[in-house]
Each structure stands twice: as structure tokens, then as C-alpha cells.
Structure 1
Amino acid sequence: MNFEKNIQKKLIQKLLDIVRFDGPAVQFWEKYIENFTRFCQADRAILTGCVDGEWKIANSYSTKGDAWRLKRFPAHLVEQGLQKKIAAGNVDGITIIAVAVDVGPQEQSPVLLLDIGQRTLSISENTIYLISSIPSLFQAMRLYNKARTDALFFAKLLQIVRAVSDDEKFGLASLRLCNEIASLFYCDQVSLGWEKKGKIKLKSISNMETFEYRANSVWELESAMEESIDQDSEILWPQKDNGKLQTRAHDTYGGIRRVGTIVTLPIRRGREVLGAITCEREKSAFSENEVWRLRLLLEQVAVWLDTLTHTDRWFGRKIYDWATDRLKSFFKIEKTGLKILFTAGIIAFAMLFIPVWTYEVDGTFILKADKTAHITSPIDGFIETVSVSPGDAVEKGGALIDLDVKALLLEKASMLATLSKHQREAEKAVAKNCLADMKIARLMEKETESELEIIAFNLKNASIQSPFAGIVVEGDLTSKLGAPVRQGDLLLKIASLDDLSFEILIEEKDIYDFSIDAGVRIKFVGKPDSVYGAKVTKVVPQAVFSGGANVFKVYAGINYAPEKWWRPGMSGVAKIESGKRSLWWIITHEAFDYLKINFWL
């Protein structure tokens, strides 16, 4: 009996020792369930918790080493244990004790199920109730230890901030900060870099008053700091679980230094990044709590370090900064009227003389078809049928005009009779053995065959077809049915709608203001609400006289499908881009050109 009491005392002591356990929570629960099970002399135990309204097994323990497999989960017993704190019931012939475990007021209590077999529980409910409250004591102890640790850290942080603030030189303040961080976080080396003209310059290394700026390791360290600043994030090296941050520079620097872990944090003042600090440690990785503390410390000293970068400078630099500050003070609220006037003058000057306005050369255009066909009469004859009129769309090989072929057919019949005659004469000459007559007949036969081939060719061409898909733009023959035509007479004109370009007329004075490939804006007279784009493809070097002035023809092409309603001959206004000009030049250049030409200025 005394032996069992001694064992229970030891188990109670172990349970009390668990309150001061400083390891992970998972290990705490394993130790707690094991000792609770042994103290109650149970065979097995299961810790259950309610997740989204459903009870699930969180942890288990067995003194026999086997798993406890329940045929059915005793949900009713668990609910009773949660309500009464301690409840007992029989499940599948086994006595089970359900104990609500106190984990504090913030969370719902889990329930511990104890398998005591056929035995009766020899421990009082008060004792079990006290043991079930150990997790809440553990939580309270953890919070106390964290609060105590944080209080000590904040006290140390205030000491560091005060010590750094006492230094009036940037070099001494940055070196002191590196040394203090190395001591507080047990770092092997701490380095501080400062931003200058978009680059990071290494300023201090812990426990080192001087270092070689041109060393390869220094360059790689600066690259690692810039890598953190460019991504605007703290970088822990080596990364866990294939992190999303780029760590190429840290990989290189870590390989040179051969350290276990590195953390780099940007130094910020508000949203402005001032520099970065890199901490190195061989033995253990930096925890998230340590990174948070580092970030907090840097936020406290960033303002003073930034102030020292402006005050700890040579005399000439201070004069420059003073002049810059005076200029900034000009834009404060004092002397508002003068400042508004001055600002308006600067804006007006910028608008007039800074070349930010797009200048365009004006011209008129005519839509031209790059591919046209003049349809002429292939033979002498008469127009029999006309299938198209101006404006009609035609396909490649489509019928256009049919000429009357009656005369050709009669001529073909006559030639066939003549051919038959010459063939018979040749056969008679062969029968009479007259060689000369036979040769003459054969020659006449070949001559007749040649004439038949000409007639067949004319018959084939008597039906005129379109050489390509397009539209009829000229030639109204619907009123000329039966009219005679001679070979070579122009009948129709067809233009392709797939190859269109703009023929733009530009005045001589503007021809040098743009170049090939300049952008063009097009507006049609019939549709002024729409603007279309084009590019200059060719400038004809020969001027022509039009509208009382010399003009040059400029051709502009398009790289997209033309609109279905576009037709050759349409006109409108074109504006050719001529680059950026100042508003003053745009307003006055024509007047100055007039004066230069007429007054020889």
C-alpha cells in the first residue's frame, strides 16, 4: 500500500513538473496524457477535441503499447464529461472515465477518455479535477514566461536605443548597433549596409573597426542586402519548404562564409528603405520571434541613423543640404500668392518651351487600290451580255462580259468544211499518185487548221472573266448591248479591295517634318467620327502642282484588314506624326518661316 502511495506521489510530482515544461506543446500533451493515465491506473487514454462541431482524436497513449480502437465513439459520454467535468460510463463492456481538461477560458475544453477496464477508480474526483487543470496552469506559465522574456527584451532594447542615440557619428552608432545585436541574439557576425544612390554600401561589421571594402565577400554581402531590399522582405537563409523569395545572392555569400544560417532585414523609415542589416549564426536558425524582435529594434534606431547621415557630413555637403532645404521651404504655405504666381510661370514655361506636344502635318488623301485591272476587248465584235456594273463585287474567274460569237461560229463551220475539202483533195492526189497535188492539199489543210485554232481562241476569249476578286470601279456597259467594239477597247476597270493605300497630298513646306514609317491618322469625309491608323510607306520625290501650290504625294499603308465599306476614290483628311515639339514652336514656326523667306532673315 505504501509502495503504491509512493508511486502516486512521484506521478503527482511529474504532473506538477509538467507545468514548468518549456518545450513544444505537442510534447507537453504527450507527457501529460502518459502521466495522467498512469496516475489513474488506466490501461489506455484518448484525448479528443471538438473541431467544427465534430469530436476528433488529438492524441492517445497506452500502457500496453497497443492502439485503442473504439468500435463506436462514445459521443454521449464525451458530452457528459464536458458538462459535468467528470463522467463515467460503460462502452463495449469497458469502464471509461471522461474528464474535461481545463485549458483556460479562451478555448473549449478537450475531453480525456480513460480506459480503466473492469476496475473501479480509486482516486477522488477532486484529485482528478485538480490534475485536469494542469494544462491551464501550463498555459498561464507559458504566458508568464513569454511576458517576462519580452519585458527583459524591451528593457535591453531601450538600452540599445539609448546607447546608439548617444553617438553623434554615423560610423560609431552603426558599429555599436552591430555589436549590441551580435551580443543580444548570439550572432557570430552582424553587418550593416546603407543605401546610397540606389546601391547598398557596407558601413559596419560587428567587432571590426575596419575592413577591406574591395574584398569579394564584401561585394557578395552587399548583393545579399540588395536582394532583400529589392524584394522588400526579410530573407531567412537557407529557406524552408522551397520559399518564394529569390536567394541567389544569399546562396553565394553563404557559400563563401560557410555559416549555418543568415537573416537579412531591410531598415525602413516609414515606407522609405534606408539600408539593410545581415545577421549570421552558426549553431541555430533564427526563429520568427527573433526576426520580429530584430525588426522592432531596427524600427526604433532607423530614425536616428537617418538623422546622422544628414548631420555627420563635411562642410560642403551641409551647404548643399541647406540650400535644398531652403528650396523646399519655399513651397510651404507662407507667401501663397507669390508661390502660386511662380508655379504658374514655371508651368507656363514648361508648356511653351518643353517639347512634349505631338506635332502633326496636315494633308488630304484619296483611297487608292494598289492592284487594278483594265479589262479590254480581246477581239472585234458586238456586246451580247453584261453581267456587272460599276460598284458590283466580283470573284476571281467571275463572268463580266460575253461578246456575240455567231459570226465566229459561222466562220468556224465554213473553216471545217474547207478543212474537209482539203483532206479529200489530198486523198485523191494520193490515189492518183500525184505528189505535188498532195503536198499542196496538205499545206492548205494546215493553213485551215491554224485558222480554226484562232477561231477557237477567239471563242474562248469571247466570254470575259475577272482576273482577281475585287470591285468594278469604271465602265457602265448595260446601255451598250449590241454595240460594236474593237480589239483593245477599254471596257471595264476592276480594283482589288485587299490591297488599299492612302495617297496623301502634303504641301512642300511640310515635306521635311516627317519620315518613312511615321504614324498617320485618317478621317474619311463620309465618316468623320471614326479615326483609322496607317504608316508612311513611300514619298514620291517629284512634286506636282495642285490647288495653286506644289505638293508631294505620300503613300501610307495599313497592316490590318480594310473596312468593308472602303472604296477606291474615297477622300478625307490625314495627319502625319512629326515627333515632339514645343507649344511655342507649333504656334510660331509658320510665322518665322514666312519672315525668313520674305524678309531674308
Structure 2
Amino acid sequence: MNDAVVPAQVKRADLAWWSALSATSDRQSFLDAWLALQASQLPGVRHAALILGEPDSGPFEVASQYPAGSRAGAAFYGVVDESLQGREVAVSADAGALVVAYPIVLDGRIHGVAAFETAKQAPEPLVQALRWGAGVLECWLIQHQETDTAQTVERLMYVINSVARALKEGQFKDVALTLVTDLATRLECDRVSIGFRQDGRSKVYALSHSSRLVQNMNLVRSVAEAMDEAIDQNTTLCLPQDEGRTLQLRAHQSLAREFGNRNVLTVPFAPEGDARGALVFERPDNMPFDRQSIELCQSVVLLAGRVLYQRLQQERPFWRKWRDAAMEESGRLLGPRHIGRKLAVLALIGIVLFACFAHGPYRISATATVQGVVQRVLAAPFDGYISDASRRAGDNVKQGEALAALDTRETELELLRAGNLEVQYRRQAEEASARGDSAAAAIAQAQARQAMAQIQFYREQIQRATLRAPFDGMLVSGDLTQQLGEAVKRGQELFKLSPLDGYRLWLDVEDRLIDDVAVGQTGRVALAAMPDKQIPFTITRIVPLAQVQEGKTVFRLEASLPANVAPQTAPALRPGMEGVGRVDIDERRYVWIWTHGFFDWLRLKWWGWFG
């Protein structure tokens, strides 16, 4: 009688398990049924476990056990780990048992392992039976994965559209309130909160369905502590699912206990690599967060968190932006990595210390022009016309050398006429003397002397018509080769001559620096034609009249070149050369030398604005 009853009971149990494999069964019922039916197909099964998790990434956890509530030893799970790592069948046998672990692999990704512990026997038949039985589980996983994916995509697009509508133009607080209220409605949450880290602690910026946070200070404090808890651990926290994990959940438990929602999910977001804020989702007791809901919330936070954080950063007051930038840079300098910044700051500190304590020469720059010590102007001796021009500016000439000549033909005619008059007057004087007419003789002699004076004048004028160099030198200006035949006026400048053995400098110093300059100070000048040579000079005179050059007010300094230097540089120096001169003032701190110009300008502007 007992033998007839047992097979009937077994058959009814199998039918129950097979019915649990229907498409309408929930996930846990299907997994329990599959594992029980698979174990019933294998001889001598003592313990069986189905380990599943996220494909490839895990974590992999026990999803079902057979018989229910049974436990296996360390050797059993060692074979499971071996199968997970190698993605192939793992077998372990000892004196009294056989353990077989079969991997569940779909599209090259491992989803888990089905492991069975049986009495000692040959493993090949068990592996073959598992190969056939695993096909049912794989088909169910594919169907379940496609269904989950379709539902997740549908819900995600629904929420993305909601997020896009909320993130329109507007102030940050309005956008945040609209977003959390819309999320609470669409994700079936009693409350959704958003907060950001500020000064090391989370600050709640918006609660769904609540426009004023001051009315809920205790709630805001509890939500902020839950955010800090998730941000500090840099992980998503879900209550009550995570209570069995080694995570700190005290703030979440306090929030659930004091404000009535036992299902709390906090998702931190890190738009710049470090966690900057979090969203807290709260559901009633009868609506726990399943895996799909958690993934959906994470996707929403990933999408909305960055946008809201950037908008919050943009709306900060300028002083907070400067402070945050300073704090961020300080963290980089005092924290790990960023060796380049640290070295740059150390170098900057070294430069500042050097500038504050070290002394160096203080020099003033000025535009310099070389001129001869003597400059002689050769002017037209009388009104006339240019007849010859053998020299021009830039030529070196010797003393007495002819430079140009004026036309003397009219002067020579006047000289000839004056000579004839002188002969005529002398003859008249002689004739008057012979007649005894002393008065007539005196008049004729006076006229003769007048004619002689004219003759002397015309002779000197002819001699002066040729312009000659008064000394050895160089023509600084004057080019009459293109003016032959042109008329010139008496006193008109034709040439300017400068000697080659004596030079001086004219230095133009800006008016803001003239107070530091004194007669007797020395310096060096580098000319554009000789930038590799620095010629010393000494200031001999300060012209007390300001001039305007190129929009700047300058004072002119006269400087002399040393006698032992000028002859050596004479072959290269030329009047009119320009360069840059630097006047040595004294020794001062480098920080003053580098910054005094700016502070002088600032003082002047301050006086102009507020004085």
C-alpha cells in the first residue's frame, strides 16, 4: 500500500514543479521549480544550488537551493567559483561525494552556475543531463531579459521625457522642484529629494510636492544625513534590501523609522568624478524597489544629476565661484597627485622670497641718440644759384675740401665793372690834380676808393661762393646734388657737419621716472647698429623742459662718452644712430623693481578717482 502511495505523491509533486515553470510564474517560483525538477532527474542528489547575478560583472548570489534551507560546505562553493572563473564545467570528487558545477553562458556572457552535490558516481551522465536541463533555464533567462529590457527602455524613455520637460529654462530651484515632483509621480514614490554637497555636507535643495523646506526641517535634516551616508560610501543604498550587507545604513533606517516609508533608495551622482550630490527616493511599505526600479533610478540620476549640478554651478554668486575654485585648487595642491602644480607653486614661492629679500641693480631705460659734440652749419653766403655739389650727407670730408659752389658769373661781371670804374676814377683824380682843382681831385679819389671797396667785396664773395669743410668730419645733413641750378637765400642751411672724434648722447626719459635721475649717474647704451657692444656713458646735464614724443611726455638728458672709449668706437659710431640706454640708479629689492611701476600708476589713478 505504501509503495502505491509514494509514486503518486512524487508524480503530483513533479506536476506542481512543472506547472511552476509556466510563463506566468514569478522569477523565484520558476527558479525553485527548475532546480527541483533538475535535481529529481539526477540520481543521489544531496544538495543543489542555483547561483545567478549580473552577466559577467556580478555579484553572483544564491538564487535558489534544494532542498529548501539546506546548506553546503566550502568545497561545494569552491567548485562553483572555479566554474564561474573558468566559464566551463567544474567537477570535484572525493571518497563519498561528487560535486558538478555547470555554467549558464548566453552570448558569451556568464549569468551564473547550477551546482549539484550527489553520491559518488561517474560525472559524465550528470553533465549530459545538466546540458539538456540548462537549455530550459537559458531560454527562460533570454525571454526574461528581453522582457526586462523592453520594460526598462519603455520606463526610461518615459522618465527621460519627463526629465527633459523639467530641465527647461528657469532658475535652478524651480527646475529641481519640478523634476523631483515629476519623478515622484512617475516612479510611484511618496517623496523624492535632491541635494548637493556644500562645505563637506549635503544640503537638500528640493523635496517633491513641497515648495518650502523650512516647514520640514527635521525631514530635511534626516534626508541630508541619508545623502551623506550614500555619498561617503560612494554607493547606491537601498532599504531594506541592503540591511544584510556590510554597509552603514543608520541614517536610512532613521529616515524610514521617523517618516513612515520603509523603502528608501539613495543614488549618489558624480558629475566630475567625485560624488557631488544624491537623489533620495521613498516608497510606501508595500512597494519595495526591485532590481529594475533601482536601475531605472540610477539611469535617471545619471542623466539629471549632471545637468542640475552644472546649472547650480552656473548660478552661484561670483564670490562663491572664486572660493570654490580656491578650495579646489588647494585640494589639488595639498592632496595626492598633481606634481606639476606642486612644483610650480614651490617655484613661485621661491621667486617671491627671492624678490622680497634679494637686492639687484635698479636701472631706467631710455631712448638714446648719438650726436657729435660739435655740429657746424654751413649756410649760403649770399643769394644765388647752386652751380656745383660734389658732396652730400654721409660723406667723410677733410678740412678745406670743397663741398658745393654757387654760381659767380654775375659777381664776376660786377667785379669787372667795379674795376673799370676804379681805373676811371683814378684817371679823373690825376687830371683834376694836374689842373690844380683840388676839390675835384678829392671827389675822384673818394670814388676810386669806393670802387676798390666794391672790388674787394666782389672778390671775397667769389671766394666764399665755394663752401669748404671747416674741419675733418662727416656731413650729417645736406644733399644738393638734386638741386643744381636752384636758387638759395642768404643764410639758408645747406650742410651740417660733425667731427668724427667726439660724440655725446641724448637720452629721452619718461616723465614718471625723471625723479630718480641725477647728474653724474652712469649707464650703458646699446645701439641698433651695434647691439653686441655696450658703450658706457655719464649724464652731464638734465634739460628741464618736457617734450612730447609719440604720445609720451619725456625729459631729455645729455650724456658724455668717456674719452678712452670714444676713439675706439669712432670707426663704427655715426651721428644719428639710435638705441636703448639704461641708466644705473642704485641697488633695490627686486620686488620693488618689478612692481613699482604698477603701484605708481595705481596711486595716480586712485588720486584721480578719489583724491
TM class, shorter-length: 0.3 to 0.5
In the superposition, the TM-score normalised over structure 2's length comes to 0.40
The higher radius of gyration belongs to 2
| TM norm structure 1 | 0.41
